[in-house]
Structure 1
């Protein structure tokens, strides 16, 4: 049966959509008038902070808070026994306490919370709390966590320190490898890194007592979060409050990039301290604490084996990922799936096998960072494909174009692809970068006199436009928008979405302005207040423009229908001939016959009463396969990006300079090209940093670089020239044809730089970041020819997936293949494992 598709593309020119204009909240932000969480100050407010563990792994034997409580100015102290309920962002990973109860699992794990009259007293009180620890062995890497399963880090681990293990096969992989003329396998390692938003995490909690309320009062929390809906949910759970008694408000947010997507201990502790003291409590994290909160990019080891025909046609791929998850679950189960399921969305794979594993370690918990779960495997796959192309003596660009996924198709693992302009993205970046003229035709030949060698690399990528399933699976909308028109011509939009700097508030204004035919200046947008705005699941997975945008269109069209009805009567023209633009409704055949928008609103209110409408959005059904685990990876649409990178490498010092990036992004339809270009360039900047300098490193269990002075980020002086190209090919299901732009453009940047380094000096650095010492080491290892100069050590355990393997064919019922015993477990123990491909 043919799938039904929502088509939001418009046949007539736009007034607002596609025009470059400032954000609707630009002025207060650039002038300092905008309020952020730490700017909020309430009468009688207390200051709060968390005492954090100095040990990466230890049992808590005793906590003595008496000296701190005796300090004048200390009002309240909490320990783990005061908050006994676990929490977590995923229903399957409820493994954190707001304050550690019996054990700490990383340096920074919170063990006590203090509220005091002033910051100085607060600092003294934290020093007076005495904690007795029994130090335990710390496991600080994937290999250590797998090699020492008896050192149990997190009780949520199914086996040893394995948090999650999944195994899937789509098509007949063995037959695909047998069909291949050539096969190659490689190991890669992607180092973890963090978000480093300008604004530290902060919140203010206020308990409002009410003796007549059986609950005793209501809680309001202002927090710098990307997910107010889920923070609202977890506060209700941990504090044993009805959700109707909890309100979460998100003020302006100074950057998130995924790092503010979890509910956090400081939010829960501030709320409980406020309830106990009857006074507002503010907790603002220090910069070091932000590094320890983390939830950033997982370190991942990856192994890829690919079969290919002599002409470059891919026949089969086997991909394995090993994730260092840190101490707690966060989004890690979803991340594990994401490292594998989206390989099929970029290139056609007739058969594909994926095995993924996440392990617990004694490091800060990893979670979602821009490009969640897809950045690491994209780096590995794009470098791997480059190696295949050189092995076969095929141009790397030609190999990619030969295998591109086609629009309006389904992948081997059942994901539905709508629009795809990746071919155009590749064409434009290769044309702009002069791909065939600039690349080194002869290994190690200088492009300029002296030690510099220049090279050009290319890579492609894809990303989702919002997850196809919510975190808690249900049939309710993923986004909702309410719009109210007032008789003075004002328009108010209510939406639960969070603007973390990407401009989603502005996007809602532009979309409604276009639908109603008014200018954005007439619109007020009220967002992210759980007491005022309808539910939106949050600002993550590049979902807001697509999902909240579609909900806004739905609500606006209901109101427009009422306006057109009264305008048709007043103008004596058929409603189907009416259009709305420039603050008026007019006859398409006779534009001089028009009605001012404000008069149309007054006539409509006279006829229909208060003008309020709601619109909702949920992804369509049937966009994924029917096997267990198919809920991670599907999206109503996928965006596509291509990057060409020009680098210069000094063969005497190893110094790597990224000189220019050409980045083309398939955005569908740019709602505001200025904002889209900003998002693309922001992704390029972040990808450049991850490629050449960013890394979370640890020494003796402690974060080695927990400050912006030591953790290296590119400055404006380091950032290369970026040429941004927007490819507009409207998607039939996006709002006005739009797709995401916030995360996908990051993904091709890292492998493009890595491939350019090889083009420049003939060595592969199969791990990130690509630093001068690694380049020098690799250069010393080569002897006059291009060789694999630096390799990543493989995972040595023989077969680490304690799971059942799902083999699934599209349009066929999934069948479970019983494996032999894995990882030393006997077959009679399989009953303890989850059915359906994961453990």
Structure 2
């Protein structure tokens, strides 16, 4: 990886912030000393596991657990009747059961849970449980779910298998398209894929019985989760235990990428098995179970219609998305909104209309994956804009630059934009890749079968959601800090470090504020009993939100330390500064006292030194209409990417030779960690673009193992040139913004656009594999043509009038469906064969 360290200069007066340094927990992780959930061993511990459905859709007729219970070494077995309370991560999607009761909805749906003395007995017991099923028809795609509303998958569906349908219109769309000199329509398909974290899901539950306690005791649950606060909430609900009797701890987490953001059946079952047996219970999922529980990227079909003037000015955009949600809700309602809501944050759109629909299918439930709901539409929009640029005879870079959103503005759908350095991101990747000076028809210069091309794309992402999952007026993140008289500093925060370095960021921020080195700081994180509430590690929220909370807490202590130091040194407090574990007079640095002495003086004067700080996003960052709660963020990050590819026209082999990736990070709190996050996003985007996909055959996941699921290795990964663009955000911690998810989004469309530049044909679906390239080249027959590897075939009437009630001011209300389909207005998406827009 090539990092532009010359860009990481420190033009600010900080001593810790802006410097490249290792993570505070790097040593235990690289030496194997760090403990993960599966490493936890407790006395008298039992081993737990789940029996999962072999059918994608079936009614449960009977379950016989007696053969398993008779097996020596089996201690307890649970079935659905033992845990009848429904749960879910969103309050609007409480549709899951820890163990299925009436029917199963995907291969892998849990049916029974077993606790045994050892893993071998556990495996044997699971096989002995007898389940009688009545197999039902399985719907395995968006098209099938729309075409067969009589096959009801999930009772949460409003009509047929439609989980959620939303529609918003901003501005005068008819006028916007009338003002356009040219209009183009396109279809795209983005395949679903899995997070594939290196650590499988695992948990250990321990029940401490207490006969004097009305609830019988207290539960401790260690789990590989990104959201201990929400797991705590759902375990309390399902087990009917008071929240005060439950403690959830997230130890070291070996990667999540969104896949560990839900509460899961194995966590709830382990907790209940521990309560029933009064013994610790560990459940560790196999890699196959990780694929079967999934919660990964939604497969999405998208249609875009955009109007543009001859000079490239966008006049209107109409965007439709169809999401394959799998069997349950997960974060799916939010994902549906996210597929449409952020198009306006990247480019100025005077008129915008979005229609989104999520369908239930008999697949494992989809959820959030790095970029949550924005990766698929960003791919479609950026390729669509490239087509518009070619139609107009414009440089694709120039079209983007002409329509960039401006900083400190509001979008047509009411989102508040603060800092925005997307223009600089585009300039940097274009200059370093020579995109602006090289011919866009380079493929004609290649004499052999291998053709080369460059592609460009831009994107945006959020720095945390503007609203919590359960709407309330409480902080999104809180931090507590305690100083001890020996100079020790302990920071308490509920945020979960899933490898992105959030624990290190907290240490850097507190160290900067107190003028000490990070090594002085002890961190307690992700423990619902010891630490204040933080909503979790998702939506790139931790640096911005927990970071601001940490600043608030640290400054309260800093004020007290400076007050006593000012008295001891006989200087005004405003003349003091702190660095390198010393508080000193800025005008006479020799006049100073050690940090530890200042702590002792402050404790003698004030008593115990403890402070807290909290953060919640401002209220004025979204529009005033129903549904405006998805999309707003206290700040948006921006990224741009140029990809250089080589395509072998004889074999179809696609090689991504290099990626130039610029990210608007606001202020890099630790440039080394930011560069690592950007490169990690680039790596994941590259994998999704060229190889990753979830394939199902006859209702089953065809490749539920890392031997078969194609992931890029270090040998596959292209050279990545990382460019950090620093324009501090006025509201971010020390000006910082997110870097964990946004950099992924422009990589996929940049590669797709580079493939077109190389071979003169387009493949409007992911992943772009050799067989699709050969198919496209064969169909093109040497002509400069647009090829779709798979044409969507949407069923009729996907937009029933009675499902969506149109209102002024962009509101959409879900109401009861009509019983007569003749009352439905025809909102059928256009057949791809009739789409207008000239071939190029």
TM bucket (normalised to shorter chain) is: over 0.9
Q: Is the 8 A contact 2:797 2:824 kept in 1?
A: no
CA deviation after TM superposition for structure 1 residue 407, in Å = 0.1
Q: Secondary structure at the match of 2:681?
A: helix
CA deviation after TM superposition for structure 1 residue 822, in Å = 11
CA deviation after TM superposition for structure 1 residue 390, in Å = 0.2
Unmatched 5+ residue regions in structure 2? 1-9, 826-840
1:738-777 to structure 2, matched below 5 A, reads 738-777=736-775
- TM (norm. structure 1) is 0.95
Q: Is the 8 A contact 1:89 1:331 kept in 2?
A: yes
RMSD (Å) for aligned C-alpha atoms: 1.7
- Aligned-partner Cα distance in 2 for 1:740–1:706: 32
Q: Secondary structure at the match of 2:187?
A: strand
Q: Secondary structure at the match of 2:821?
A: coil
CA deviation after TM superposition for structure 1 residue 804, in Å = 1.7
- Aligned-partner Cα distance in 2 for 1:818–1:683: 40
Look up the match of 2:809: 808
Look up the match of 1:631: 629
Determine which of 666, 672, 688 is the counterpart of 2:686.
688
Look up the match of 2:821: 824
Query: Between Structure 1 and Structure 2, how many residues are aligned?
Result: 813
Look up the match of 1:581: 579
Look up the match of 2:452: 454
CA displacement, residues 207-237 of structure 1 (integer Å, 9 cap, x when unaligned): 1000110110000000000000000000000
- Aligned-partner Cα distance in 1 for 2:265–2:348: 43
Look up the match of 1:795: 794
1:419 aligns with 2:416: no
Q: Is the 8 A contact 2:654 2:770 kept in 1?
A: yes
- Aligned-partner Cα distance in 2 for 1:296–1:218: 33
Look up the match of 1:836: none
Q: Is the 8 A contact 2:192 2:297 kept in 1?
A: yes
1:187-198 to structure 2, matched below 5 A, reads 187-198=187-198
Look up the match of 1:324: 324
CA displacement, residues 697-716 of structure 1 (integer Å, 9 cap, x when unaligned): 00000000000000000001
Look up the match of 2:228: 228
Determine which of 703, 706, 709 is the counterpart of 2:707.
709
Look up the match of 1:177: 177
CA deviation after TM superposition for structure 1 residue 183, in Å = 0.2
1:319-468 to structure 2, matched below 5 A, reads 319-441=319-441, 444-447=443-446, 449-468=447-466
- Aligned-partner Cα distance in 2 for 1:108–1:821: 34
CA displacement, residues 287-327 of structure 1 (integer Å, 9 cap, x when unaligned): 00000010000000000000000000000000000000000
- Aligned-partner Cα distance in 2 for 1:11–1:192: 42
- Aligned-partner Cα distance in 1 for 2:466–2:456: 30
Q: Is the 8 A contact 2:146 2:795 kept in 1?
A: no
Q: Secondary structure at the match of 2:13?
A: coil
Q: Which moved more, 1:235-244 or 1:570-579?
A: 570-579
- Aligned-partner Cα distance in 1 for 2:178–2:586: 63
- Aligned-partner Cα distance in 1 for 2:760–2:464: 39
Look up the match of 1:832: none
Look up the match of 1:52: 52
Look up the match of 2:166: 166
- Aligned-partner Cα distance in 2 for 1:325–1:815: 21
Q: Secondary structure at the match of 2:639?
A: strand
Look up the match of 1:204: 204
Q: Secondary structure at the match of 2:427?
A: helix
CA deviation after TM superposition for structure 1 residue 783, in Å = 3.4
Unmatched 5+ residue regions in structure 1? 1-9, 829-839
CA deviation after TM superposition for structure 1 residue 806, in Å = 4.1
- Aligned-partner Cα distance in 2 for 1:189–1:215: 51
Q: Secondary structure at the match of 1:413?
A: coil
Look up the match of 1:216: 216
- Aligned-partner Cα distance in 1 for 2:272–2:465: 32
- Aligned-partner Cα distance in 2 for 1:408–1:181: 29
CA deviation after TM superposition for structure 1 residue 647, in Å = 0.2
Q: Secondary structure at the match of 2:498?
A: coil
CA displacement, residues 687-744 of structure 1 (integer Å, 9 cap, x when unaligned): 0000000000000000000000000000011000000000000000000000000000
Q: 1:546 to 1:272 in 2, by over 3 A?
A: same
CA deviation after TM superposition for structure 1 residue 364, in Å = 0.3
Q: Is the 8 A contact 1:185 1:305 kept in 2?
A: yes
Q: 1:66 to 1:821 in 2, by over 3 A?
A: closer
Q: Is the 8 A contact 1:646 1:661 kept in 2?
A: yes
- Aligned-partner Cα distance in 2 for 1:654–1:440: 21
Q: Secondary structure at the match of 2:248?
A: strand
Q: Is the 8 A contact 1:63 1:132 kept in 2?
A: yes
Q: Secondary structure at the match of 1:312?
A: coil
CA deviation after TM superposition for structure 1 residue 788, in Å = 1.2
- Aligned-partner Cα distance in 2 for 1:460–1:350: 19
- Aligned-partner Cα distance in 2 for 1:388–1:162: 32
Q: Secondary structure at the match of 1:808?
A: coil
1:137-156 to structure 2, matched below 5 A, reads 137-156=137-156
- Aligned-partner Cα distance in 2 for 1:720–1:762: 22
CA deviation after TM superposition for structure 1 residue 438, in Å = 3.6
- Aligned-partner Cα distance in 2 for 1:201–1:807: 46
Q: Secondary structure at the match of 1:400?
A: helix
Q: Secondary structure at the match of 1:669?
A: coil
1:511 aligns with 2:509: yes
- Aligned-partner Cα distance in 1 for 2:13–2:679: 27
Q: Which moved more, 1:223-232 or 1:565-574?
A: 565-574
CA deviation after TM superposition for structure 1 residue 826, in Å = 3.6
- Aligned-partner Cα distance in 1 for 2:390–2:820: 36
Look up the match of 2:783: 785
Q: Is the 8 A contact 2:46 2:118 kept in 1?
A: yes
CA deviation after TM superposition for structure 1 residue 437, in Å = 3.6
Q: Secondary structure at the match of 1:371?
A: coil
Q: 1:799 to 1:224 in 2, by over 3 A?
A: closer
Look up the match of 1:596: 594
- Aligned-partner Cα distance in 2 for 1:72–1:827: 60
Determine which of 637, 643, 646 is the counterpart of 2:644.
646
